[in-house]
Amino acid sequence: MNVWIAIGLTVVGCYAVKLAGLLVPAGALERPVVRRLAALLPVALLAALTAQQTFSTGQALVVDARAAGLAAAGLALLLRAPFLVVVAAAVVVTAGVRALGG
C-alpha cells in the first residue's frame, strides 16, 4: 500500500510542477537573465550528470576506463567530429582500456 501512496504523491507533485510552469507570466520568461539561464542550465546539468556517472561508483570516487572514454570523446569534440564518431570513439577507447585490464 505504501508504494501506491508514493505513486499518488509523485503524480500530484508532477502535475503541480507542470501547473506552476503554466502559471508563470509570459513577461517573466522574456527577461534576458531568464533566457540566459534557460540556455545554460541544460548544459550545466548534463555536465554534472556526465561527471557523476564517469567518476563515481556508489559512494566512491574512481578513475577507470570510463575516464579514458570521456577524454577520447572530449578530444573528438575538439576536433569537431560528428556525434556518432564522438560516441564511437568513447566506446572504442573505453572497451580497449577495459580489455587491457584497466
Tens digits of residue pLDDT in 47-84: 999 999 999 988 889 999 999 999 999 999 999 999 99
Axis-axis angle for helices 65-78, 32-55 (nearest 10): 140
- pLDDT band, very low/low/confident/very high, at 101 (cuts 50, 70, 90): confident
Closest CA to 50 of 21, 101, 90, 8: 90
Indicate if the pLDDT at residue 12 is higher than 90.
yes
Query: According to the model, what pLDDT value does residue 1 have?
Result: 66
Other Cβ atoms closer than 10 A to 98: 14
pLDDT above 70: percentage of residues in the chain = 98
> For the whole prediction, is pTM greater than 0.85?
no
Contacts of 34 (CB under 8 A, 6+ apart): 28
Please tell me the predicted confidence (pLDDT) of residue 73: 96
CA 52 to chain centre: 9
φ, ψ of residue 23 to 5 degrees: the values are: -85, -5
Q: 58: burial class by Cβ within 10 Å (0-12, 13-18, 19+)?
A: exposed
Report whether pLDDT(102) > 70. Answer: no
Phi and psi at residue 48, to the nearest 5°? -65, -40
pLDDT at 97: 95
What pLDDT shows up at residue 78? 97
